[in-house]
Amino acid sequence: MLIKKAYSGRIKGMNEINSASSKEWLLFCRRFFHNPSCIGSVMPSSRFLARKMVRSVAWEQCGLIVELGAGTGSCTEYLLANKPQRTKVLVFEKDPVFRAQLAEKFTAVPLYDDAAQLAEILAAQGIRRVDCIMSGLPFAMFSDAERQAILAQIQRVLPRGGQFITFQYSPQMYRELCLKFSEVRIGFTFFNLPPAIIYSCRR
Ligand SMILES: C[S@@+](CC[C@H](N)C(=O)[O-])C[C@H]1O[C@@H](n2cnc3c(N)ncnc32)[C@H](O)[C@@H]1O
């Protein structure tokens, strides 16, 4: 009884930063222990981080936005709530359990699996370029080859001036992003577990 109370108190405390439900939080934790290098975090992003990511989008130039690594949809929810009506959203999520949950939550959003196949999957839909890519992918947990392959896919579909927005928990990606993009802006939020760096880049 006491343990249950302490446990639910802790989850309640987490929820002040993180708007995800306790059920979602537990699911995230379970999927992390199932495949840590793919999931990359024990809990979904906070609403503060999601808001900062979505605020970085240059909506006036954005007809099509692709989200990579949507997880349980913390950022997707903000994206859909804040995008102009004309902007189309496509979502990629590799974990099948998360994908099933996203399909249930966001019935009208086209869902795909592996971001490593980004350019091919989009080409099969007749899409050659996207205006903005918003990513929750845990690049720091990927092998060098995997990170390079996904960054190359992103470069293939982003035209010059296209936006790439990502969050990371360490500054490890900074140099690489500066080499690959013509502009890299940095933001932070401490209101996330762990605190996150937000990179807003232009190709
Ligand atoms: C750190 S979580 C972020 C989840 C969510 N965006 C959030 O902010 O709460 C990283 C997500 O990327 C997904 N992921 C990892 N590799 C992927 C890939 N190659 N293609 C698509 N999704 C991938 C994981 O399954 C996980 O849901």
126-160, pLDDT tens digit by residue? Answer: 999 999 999 999 999 999 999 999 999 999 999 99
pLDDT of residue 23: 84
Taking all residues of the chain, what is their mean pLDDT, rounded to a whole number?
91
Closest ligand 1 atom, CA of 73?
5
Q: pLDDT > 90: what percent of the chain?
A: 87
Of 3-7, 180-184, 193-197, which range is least confident?
Answer: 3-7
pLDDT of residue 165: 98
Higher pLDDT, 200 or 25: 200
CA of residue 93 to ligand 1 center, whole Å: 6
162: pLDDT strictly greater than 70: yes
CA of residue 4 to ligand 1 center, whole Å: 30
The dihedral formed by the CA atoms of 152, 155, 157 and 161, expressed in degrees to the nearest 10? 170
Q: pLDDT > 70: what percent of the chain?
A: 90
Closest CA to 11 of 21, 1, 2, 3: 21
Closest ligand 1 atom, CA of 150?
19
Closest ligand 1 atom, CA of 98?
27
Q: Does the predicted TM-score (pTM) go above 0.75?
A: yes
CA of residue 185 to ligand 1 center, whole Å: 22
CA of residue 63 to ligand 1 center, whole Å: 23
197: pLDDT strictly greater than 60: yes
CA of residue 44 to ligand 1 center, whole Å: 10
Q: What CATH code would you report for 45-202?
A: 3.40.50.150
**Which distant-in-sequence residues (6+ apart) come within 8 Å of 31 by Cβ?**
39, 95, 97, 98
- How crowded is residue 105: how many other Cβ atoms within 10 Å of its Cβ? 15
Pocket of ligand 1 (CB under 6 A): 38-41, 44-45, 68-71, 74-75, 92-95, 98, 114-116, 136-138
Residue 70 contacts residue 76 (beta carbons within 8 Å): yes
pLDDT of residue 17: 54
